[in-house]
Structure 1
Amino acid sequence: MRKIAIIDDERQVLQGMKRVIPWGELNAEWAGEALNGQDGLEMIRETQPDIVITDIYMPVMSGLDMIEHLRKDGFGGKIIILSGYSDFEHARQALRFNVSDYVSKPISVPTLKSVLYKVIQELIEEEEKLNIQVELKHKLMIYEPFIEKEWVRSAAVGTLNRYYQDGAHLPEAYQYWADCSHAAIGIDLVRDGRANELSVSDWNLFRFAISNIVCEVARKVFPIIEYTELHSTRAVLIIHPKRGSSCDQLEDALRELGVKLIDNVKSYLRLAICVGIGRIRGEWTKLPESTEEAFRAIDRREQRIVPSYDLYKYKGQMREDSEQIALFPVKFSFKLASAMKTAQEAEAQQIVAEYIEELGKQDGISKDYVQMLGSELWGIMTYCLYEAGIFLDDLFTNDQIAKELLTLYQPEQLAEWLSAKISLICNSRQMKGSSKHRQVVDFMTQYIHEHYAEDLTLADLSDKVYISRNHLSIIFKNITGETFNNYLTRVRMEKARELLLERNLLVYEVAEQVGYKNVPYFSTLFKKVTGMNPTELIK
C-alpha cells in the first residue's frame, strides 16, 4: 500500500485533499500532514512516505527548501508540487530536485487522480526494475565463481575477448598474474578400456576426483595454481613460477610434479593419464602458447623426460616431418567442443570450415593424415557430447564411421563429411530442446563439486536455477542417469576417500569436512558406496 503525505499551509486545502483522493482505488493510505516545510521535513523523515504532495510558499521553510533537504538526506520518494504560482524559476528548481509533477492550484479532482495514478505507475515500474537488478545481482553472486573459472579456461586456450589481449585488464582475483611467470601443464586421460566403460555420472565424478588429486599434489610444489577442464579427457594445470627462478630447479620440480600426478591418479583411481609440459612464459597473455605446447608434446610424444612414464616436455621447435598444421590444436578443439555441447550448429560449422581452410593451405597433405585428423575430430565431438549425456551410438555405429573415414583423401572431403555429421547431430532428437537442460545440469554438477561440504539440497539448487524442484529432479536424472542425492553422496564419498588415504585426519573429522555430522551414518554410506568401512581404509 502506498503512503501519501500532504504539506500545505492552508488547512482547507489539506482537508480537501484528504477527502477527494480515492485512497481505495489507488491502494494508498494517508501518511501524515504538515502546515509548513520544517514540520513537513520532520514528518517525512519519520514516516518515509512513497509520495509527497507539497505547496511551495509556506512559513518557516518553503517547499523547495524542504525538498532540497530531503534529496540531500537521500529521500527517494515521489514529489508532486501543488502551487498557486507557476513561474519558470520555480519549475526549473523543481526539475533540479527531480520532482515528478508541478501542478497549479486550484486542481480538479480528475487531474489529481490522473497525476497520482501516473506517479504510482512510475513507482511500480521502478520497483520492478529494482527487483530485476536485485535478481541479477543475486545471480551474479551465485555464478561469479563459475564465471571466474570460465575466464581462466579462456585465458589458457586463447579465447579471451580482445578487451583482455593487451594484458592491462586482469580481473581483480588474478591481478597477481602480472607479477609472475606462467606455464601450462597438459593432462590427458588415456582412453583405455576402463575409461571407456564409465557412465556419464561416473565420468563427471572421476573428472572431479582427478581435479582434486591434481590440485592437492600440485599445491605442495607450486603454492599458487589454477586447474581448468577443457573438454572430454583434457585439462590444464596452470602454474606460476617466480620470475628469475633457477631453470634447473624448475625442471626438477616439474619432473617431480609430473611423476606424482601420474602415480597418484593411477594409485587412487586406477586411471592412466599423460602429462605434457609447455614452456614458461613471462607474460600471461602468452599462456595459450604454453598450453598448445603442452598438448603438442603429448600428441607427438616429443620428449619423454622420465623413462616408463607418459611425461613429456615440449622441445621448442617443430620436427621436420611435422610442418603441417597441428593435429590437435587446443583452441580449435575447445571451441568445437563448446559449440557442439550447446548445439550451436552454425558456430560449429564455421569453426570446422576455418580450420580445414587453414589445413588446405599446407602442402603435401597425405590421405593418411586427413583420415587421422578426421578420426581425432570425431573423437572430440564424441567425447564432449558423451560428457553432456549425448550418445552418438544411437546415430552412428563405429563400423560406419571407420568405413566413411577410409573414403576421405582431401581436406575438402573431410570438411564435407564433418559438416554433414554436425548437421545430423545438432538436428537429432537427442540434441533438440535439451541443450539448456544440459547447461543447467553442468552448473549443478559443478556447484555440487564446489559446495559438497555444505548442507546442500535439490531445493537450494532449484532456487538458484529458477526451475521447480520436481522438474529439476527429472532433468538431472535424465542427463546423468542418477538422482541428485545419489550423485551428491558419491561426490562426498570420493572426497572422503581421498582425505582418508592422506591419513592426516580422524574419521569424524573427515565426515565433517564432507558434510556429515552423524559419523555412524557417514560410515554406513561410505561402506555402501566404496565397499569398505572408513577405518579399514586407513589401516
Structure 2
Amino acid sequence: MKVILVDDEKGIVEGLKRMVNRYIPECEVIGTAHNGLEGFKLIQTMQPDFVITDIRMPQADGLEMIKMLKDEGSPIPCILLSGYTDFEYARRGMQLGVRFYINKPVEIDQLRECVYQVMEAIRADKAKVQEVNELRQEVHSRKQEKAWRDVLDLGNDNLELVEKLLQVAQIPMEGAFFGSVLLEFDSNVDGSKEFGLHPVFDHIDRAFKQYRGVFRFRYTGAQVAVILANDKLIKNEDVVRACVLLKQEVYQDLKLSMTIGIGTIQKRVVGVSQSFEEACYALSYKVIKGTNAVIPFPEITNLTGPSHTVPTELIAKLETGLDNMDEAGCVDIIREIFRRMEAEKSMRPADLQSQCLNILLSSVRNMSFHQLQQNDFLGRHILSLDGISRFRTLEHLEEWAVKVIRGIISFKLEHNIPKKKDIITEIKEYVTKHYNEPIKIADLAARFFISPYYLSQFFKQKTGETYVNFLTQIRINKAKELLQNTDLKVYEICQMVGYSDTQHFARLFEKLAGCKPREYRKNTPSL
C-alpha cells in the first residue's frame, strides 16, 4: 500500500521512511511533507492509501490538514504522531474520524502493529465498497434484463410501452442502432446456477466491446440472448466476425461449443423484437447447418429461395400427415414431391438440394430441438448433418427424406406424443387455465413440442392476434371480474392475474379497458 509521511522534523520523516521500507515491505513511501498545508497538496496529488502525520506543525497542523481533506471530500485514513498526551487532541481527532495514534518516540513494533491495523481496516472498507457496488450492479443488470425480456415479449406494436420500459431500466435508446444474437450451448452448461454463465458473459463482453451497450442474459435453458446497442451503425459483417471469434474463444477457454443465430440490425428500438425473432429463426437452422455454426438471418433467407419450390398444398399435407402419424400417407407425399422435382427438366442440383431442405424444415419445425436430440436416429441424420450436398442423386435424396419422416413418426409413437388435431385450441385452453403464471412463448413451445418461432407465427395466423395480446386480454378480463366482485386491493389483483409490476398492470388495464383499475371499480356496479 502507498503511504505519505508528514512531519515538520526531517529527522523523524527520514527515520519513519527507513522503518517502513525495512520492516513493513507491504508499504511503499511515495512522498513526504513537512507541514500540514504542503501535506494537504501532496495527498490530493498522489492519492495514497493512508497517511502518517504529526499533529503539531507550522502553517497547518495535522488535525487541520485532516479537516481540509475531509472538507474536500478526500477522507484518507491517518495515523497521528504526537509527543503530547493532551486529551483535547485526541477528542478533536476522534471527531474527524481518526482511529489510530502513535506516541513519539516511535518504536518499530508499535509502528508495525498500527500500520497493519490500518491496512486491515482499509481492506475491509474496500471489500464493503466492492460488495455494495457489485450488489448495485447486479440489481441494475437484473432490472435491465427484465426490461429486455418484456420488450422481446411485447413485439413491434407498442413503441410507447417499449420506450417506457427501457427508460425505467436506464437503457439509452435515442439515435441508437440495435441488433440481436442468440447463443445455444451444445454441452455442459450449468442450467441451475447463474454463476455458471459468468465466464461466458465475460467472453461476450470482450467480443462486443466496441459497442456502447452489450446486454446479455440467460434466455431459456442453454440459450443466452445478447442485445447490442450503439450510437453508430452496427455492420452485420462485424457482428458475424465477432460471433465467429466468440465461438472459437469460448470453446478454447471453456470447452463449450455453441451455435449462434444472428438477427438483422434495426435503427429503432421497437425493431429489437423483430431482430430477436430473426435470431431465433436463424438458430433453428442448426438442424440444417449442424451444431457449432454461426448463422446470420440474411443467409437463411437466401438459402430457401430457388427458382422452383415445393407446392404449398403438398407441404401442408405433409405436416398434417406428421401430426396424425400417418406414415404411409407421408411417404406417398414425399414420393409425389420427388416425382414433381424429377419431372422438372430445368431444375439444377442446387435446386434439388434446396427442395430437400424445405421438406426437412416442414417435417421437424413442429418438434422441439430437445426432442430431436433425444432420438438417436434423428440425431445421426439431422442434428449431426455435415451437409446435404453429400447426396449426389435425386434417388439418394428421396430415400433420405423418407427415412427422416419414418424416424420422426417412430419417435412420436415411442414417446406417446398425441396427435395434434387443433394445437392452437389446446394452447388457448392451457393459457386460460394458467394465465396467472409467468407463461413465456418459449415455455409453451416446449410444452407443446413446437419451435418458439413457428408457434408465434402460427398463433397469429390462426387467431389474428399475437400470443402476448391474447394472454394480456385474458388477464385483464379476469382483473375486471375481481374488481367487480371482490374487495381486493389493486396490487393484490395485479399479482393474482400474473403481473408483478403494479404500474405496468395499470397501464395495460387502462389501454384495454379505457380507464384505470380504481375508476373501473368505481364506475361498475357490483354483481
TM-score tier, shorter chain, comes to 0.3 to 0.5
**Length-normalised TM-score, structure 1:** 0.36
Larger RCO of the pair (alpha carbons < 8 Å, separation 6+): 1
